[in-house]
Amino acid sequence: MAAAALARESNPADPRLIVPLDVPTAEEARALVARIGEAVSFYKVGLELFATDGMALARELKRGGKQVFLDWKLHDIPTTVQRAAAALSGSGCDFLTVHGEPQVMAAAVKGRGASGLKILAVTVLTSLTDQDLTEMGYAEGARALVERRIRQAIAAGCDGVVASPHEAALARTLGGPEFLVVTPGVRPDWSARNDQARASTPAEALNAGASHIVCGRPITAAEDPHAAALRVAAEMAQA
């Protein structure tokens, strides 16, 4: 049997599937990871866990052979962002998010240096409407600002962006084949929408150009998270 097929057999996880650990404590996160088992190889650790034991948990996941996405959306003066990215680059973690402002993105890329830490830009938070942007002093609406920031992320040397499935095609076109396009807002047909109003299915997101999907509650809130993760991975394989 070929090496790739052997690896798939011993580890059925699709490396393009990222599950967010949106729980308040490291104990709950560990329990969730244990229930999901070998069905998922990539986890997102966000601000909620960051506020408690996030970094310790991230290192633990890395020791356990998982990939780790630090979704901390850094936003500060360049020196601070550069130093934070440099400090995090020693953790062995895989993805780190920063806000999509040119100074911030360039500083993060400089800070991670030659490490394997990939820098992803958050272009425009999906919670912001055109009206919010006007109130904040921006002259253009969300769609135009997303495009501007994707271009600026590429110019700053970022490895990719976080984009809704609806922006994935634009990010793929602008960024080219190697660019990372990580899309939350993914819902299989068989799961509840929750608060994701404009969700796409896993296959739709991948077909639109996503390199990775973030899919949380359809897996984490399922009665059997392991089975739900395998079901999502099977759908991804059909894309």
Tokens standing for residue 213 = 């999907």
- Alpha carbons 154 and 151: distance in angstroms, whole number: 5
Is residue 29 within the footprint of ligand C5P (CB under 6 A)? Answer: no
Is residue 126 within the footprint of ligand C5P (CB under 6 A)? Answer: yes
Is residue 194 within the footprint of ligand C5P (CB under 6 A)? Answer: yes
- Alpha carbons 36 and 69: distance in angstroms, whole number: 17
Contact 178, 166 (CB under 8 A): no
Q: How many residues bind ligand C5P (CB under 6 A)?
A: 14
Q: DSSP string of 208-223?
A: HT-SEEE--HHHHTSS
Is residue 129 within the footprint of ligand C5P (CB under 6 A)? Answer: no
User: Which of the residues 44, 62, 66, 73 is marked catalytic?
Assistant: 73
Choose the stretch contacting ligand C5P; rule: CB under 6 A; options: 105-113, 132-140, 210-218, 229-237: 210-218
Is residue 225 within the footprint of ligand C5P (CB under 6 A)? Answer: no
| Geometric angle at alpha carbon 231, from 228 and 237, rounded to 5° | 145
Residue whose CB is less far from ligand C5P, 82 or 183:
183
Q: Which of 185, 188, 202, 209 binds ligand C5P (CB under 6 A)?
A: 185
Choose the stretch contacting ligand C5P; rule: CB under 6 A; options: 23-31, 32-40, 103-111, 209-217: 209-217
Is residue 216 within the footprint of ligand C5P (CB under 6 A)? Answer: yes
Q: What own/partner pairs with CB < 8 Å and gap ≥ 24 does 163-166 have?
A: 163/123, 163/210, 164/126, 164/198, 165/198, 165/199, 165/200, 165/204, 165/205, 165/208, 165/210, 166/198, 166/200, 166/208
Told to judge if 66 belongs to the known catalytic residues of this protein, a careful annotator would answer: no
Question: Which residues of the shown chain bind ligand C5P in the complex (CB under 6 A)?
Answer: 20, 22, 46, 126, 162, 164, 184-185, 194, 196, 214-217
Which residues are identified as catalytic?
73
